[in-house]
Amino acid sequence: MRKKFLAKALAGILGVGIFTATVPNFYEIGEAMTLPYEETVYDLNFAEAIGTEKTLTVDGREIKFVAYENIVYVRNPANVDAQCLSIYIPAEYFSGGTINGYTAATAPIFMPNGVGGYMPGEIQAPAEKTRFSDSPNASLVALSRGLVVVSPAIRGRTTTTDGVYVGKAPALIVDYKAAVRYLRHNRGKLPAGDTEKIISNGTSAGGALSAALGSMGNAPEFEPYLREIGAADERDDIFASSDYCPITNLENADASYEWIFYGENKYYPAMWQIKANATADDANNPTAVKQATNMTAAEIKISKKLRDAFPAYVNSLKLRDEYGKILTLDKKGNGTFKSYIKRKYVESAQDALERGEDLSGVDWLIFENGRVVDVDLTKYPAAATRMKAAPAFDKMDLSSAENDEFATADNSPRHFNALVQKNSKGDMADAELIKIMNPMNFIGRDDVTVAKHFRIRHGAVDRDTALAIPAILALKLQNTGVDVDFFSPWGRGHSGDYDLDKLFDWIDSICK
C-alpha cells in the first residue's frame, strides 16, 4: 500500500472544520480483486480531502488560498504518483466573499497541465516565480483573479509502473479527462468552483493536450481507457480551452512543416535540444543556436515528398475563412489557404507595428504607406530558421519524442505518418490510436461535445511546428460554430503563458 498520499495529507491538516475531513481518500481492497498495476483502490470522495491554508504575493498583494494536494483522481491508477491532482481555492470563498465579480458558486475552474515534450506532466502549484520567469505563474495569477485552480499530474511517455510503460498515447488525454470527471463527481462537495466552467491550459505538447481535452468531450473511444483506470462515471466535456503552440495533428505536422520549410536545407536545433536548463530566453530566441547542421540527401528527398502531400490534406478538410471563402492549395502549394496563412502573419506584424516595434529590418514583410500589407513566405524559412530536419516529427529512425509517444508498452517507438513509414523501417502505430490522438477527428461530430470557446496562440517565429497546424485546428473549430480567438504573436518563439493578463481577460470575457 502506498503511504505517500496519507503522509502528505496529514502534514497539511489545517484544523478548521470547513477545510478538513478526517479520513484519507483511499482504502485497501480484498485480495480477491486483481487490478493491472496497483493493489489499492482509491475513493473519489473529495469530502475526505484535507486543505492547507497558504499565502503568496502578486504585485505586492497577498493572495490567500487553501490547497488540497495530491488527491488521486482515479480509483485504479496505473501510476499513483502521476494520477493525482491538487485543488487551490481562494480563501475569500470560504467566508462568502467575492473576487473579481466571482463567488464560490460562480468561480470558473482553471485547469492547467504541466505536460511538455509528451513527458509526464507535473502539478502546476501556484508560484511567485518559476524556472523560466520571475513573474507569478498562471496558477497564481488565476487565484489572484478569483478563479479556482485544479491542476492534475498526467502520465507521459516515460512513466513506468513495475517496468511497464503505462503513459504512452493516449494516456495523457485519458488522465486529463479523468481529472475533469473527478471534479464533476464531486460537484456538490467542492468548497468553490463551477464545474460547468472548466478551462484547460497548456503549452506545446501540453497545448496539444489542452486542445484534445477541449475537442474530445465525452468521445466514446475513450470509455474503455477511462474504465480501465476507474475514472468517475461522469461527463468530461469542458467549457473552454487555451492552447499555446499546440504540437498537435501529428500525422499531418510533417507535411505542414515541409510546406513552409522545403528548400531550407540547414537546421538549427533549439537550445532545449542541446542544453540542459535552457531558459525562457533560449526558447524565445530561434537563432540562439548558431551552428547549422546540413540535412542529408535522404532528408531532402523526404522533405519534397512531404511538401507535395500537404495540398491534398488541406483540400480534404474543406476549410473556410471567416468570410466563407474556401481555403485550398494547388499542387504547387499555392492558393487561398496560403493567402490565409500570410494574412495571419500580416496581422501579427501590423499589431507589433502599432505597438511601436521597429520592423524595418524584417526582410519578409511587405509595407505600403507605413502598413504591413503582405509577407514573402519564400523568405520566411531563412528568417525564422528551420529547427528540425525532415521529417520533423515522425523520424525515419524513430528517434523523436512523438515516435516515443506512440511506442508500445515495452517502449518500442513507432511511426504515425504513413508516407514516412513507407520510406523507412519500423512499424506503424495502430490506426485507431493515431486517430484518437488528433482533435481534428472529433470536431464537428454529433457524439462529441466540443468546448464552446478556444484561445489558440502560436508565435510568428515558432519553428517547433508550422503555423498551418494551429491554423487548421482553429479553422475547423470555427467552421463548426466554435468561438475561436486565434492569433500569432509577433517575434514569439515556442513558448506559453507569456500574456497572462490577456489570457485571464479572455476568460473573464467568456465567463461573465
DSSP-derived secondary structure letter, 204 = T
Is residue 148 within 8 A of residue 68, CB to CB? The reply is no
Task: Give whichever of 280 and 401 is closer to ligand DHB, judged by the CB atom.
Answer: 401
By CB under 6 A, is residue 418 in contact with ligand DHB?
no
Taking residue 318's Cβ as centre, other Cβ atoms within 10 Å add up to 11
DSSP-derived secondary structure letter, 120 = P
In this chain, which stretch among 22-30, 67-75, 114-122, 477-485 interacts with ligand DHB, using CB under 6 A? 114-122
**Phi, psi of 113, deg, nearest 5:** -110, 150
Taking the alpha carbons at both ends of the chain, their separation in whole angstroms is 45
Task: Give whichever of 24 and 120 is closer to ligand DHB, judged by the CB atom.
Answer: 120
**Phi, psi of 351, deg, nearest 5:** -60, -45
Output the smallest distance, CB 82 to ligand DHB, in A: 17
Output the smallest distance, CB 325 to ligand DHB, in A: 31
Is residue 238 within 8 A of residue 453, CB to CB? The reply is no
Distances (CA, A) of 203 to 38, 116, 208, 457: 31, 7, 7, 9
Output the smallest distance, CB 256 to ligand DHB, in A: 13
Cβ neighbours of residue 427 under 8 Å, at least 6 residues apart? 412, 414, 415, 421
Task: Give whichever of 102 and 259 is closer to ligand DHB, judged by the CB atom.
Answer: 259
Output the smallest distance, CB 273 to ligand DHB, in A: 8
Output the smallest distance, CB 246 to ligand DHB, in A: 9
In this chain, which stretch among 31-39, 112-120, 292-300, 499-507 interacts with ligand DHB, using CB under 6 A? 112-120
Within 232-251, which residues bind ligand DHB (CB under 6 A)?
A: 247
Output the smallest distance, CB 74 to ligand DHB, in A: 24
Q: Which of 261, 464, 466, 475 binds ligand DHB (CB under 6 A)?
A: 464
Total residues at the site for ligand DHB (CB under 6 A)?
8
Question: What is the Cα–Cα distance from 111 to 507, expressed in whole angstroms?
Answer: 12
Task: Give whichever of 243 and 464 is closer to ligand DHB, judged by the CB atom.
Answer: 464
Please choose, from the candidates 302, 204, 296, the residue with its C-alpha nearest in 3D space to the C-alpha of residue 250.
Answer: 204
By CB under 6 A, is residue 377 in contact with ligand DHB?
no
- Report whether the peptide linkage leading into residue 439 is cis, meaning its omega lies within 30 degrees of zero: no
By CB under 6 A, is residue 205 in contact with ligand DHB?
yes
By CB under 6 A, is residue 117 in contact with ligand DHB?
yes
Task: Give whichever of 51 and 286 is closer to ligand DHB, judged by the CB atom.
Answer: 286
For CA atoms 462, 466, 467, 473, the dihedral sign is negative
Task: Give whichever of 305 and 463 is closer to ligand DHB, judged by the CB atom.
Answer: 463
Q: Which of 317, 401, 418, 433 binds ligand DHB (CB under 6 A)?
A: 401
Cβ neighbours of residue 505 under 8 Å, at least 6 residues apart? none
By CB under 6 A, is residue 67 in contact with ligand DHB?
no
By CB under 6 A, is residue 417 in contact with ligand DHB?
no
* Rg of the chain over all Cα atoms, to the nearest angstrom: 23
In this chain, which stretch among 111-119, 134-142, 299-307, 331-339 interacts with ligand DHB, using CB under 6 A? 111-119
Long-range contacts from 373-380, C-beta under 8 angstroms, 24+ separation: 373/346, 374/342, 374/346, 375/342, 375/345, 375/346, 375/349, 377/260, 377/338, 377/341, 377/342, 380/260, 380/345
Q: Which of 137, 195, 204, 348 binds ligand DHB (CB under 6 A)?
A: 204
By CB under 6 A, is residue 116 in contact with ligand DHB?
yes
Question: What is the Cα–Cα distance from 166 to 408, expressed in whole angstroms?
Answer: 9
Output the smallest distance, CB 203 to ligand DHB, in A: 7
Task: Give whichever of 204 and 265 is closer to ligand DHB, judged by the CB atom.
Answer: 204
Output the smallest distance, CB 181 to ligand DHB, in A: 25
Residue ranges binding ligand DHB (CB under 6 A): 116-118, 204-205, 247, 401, 464
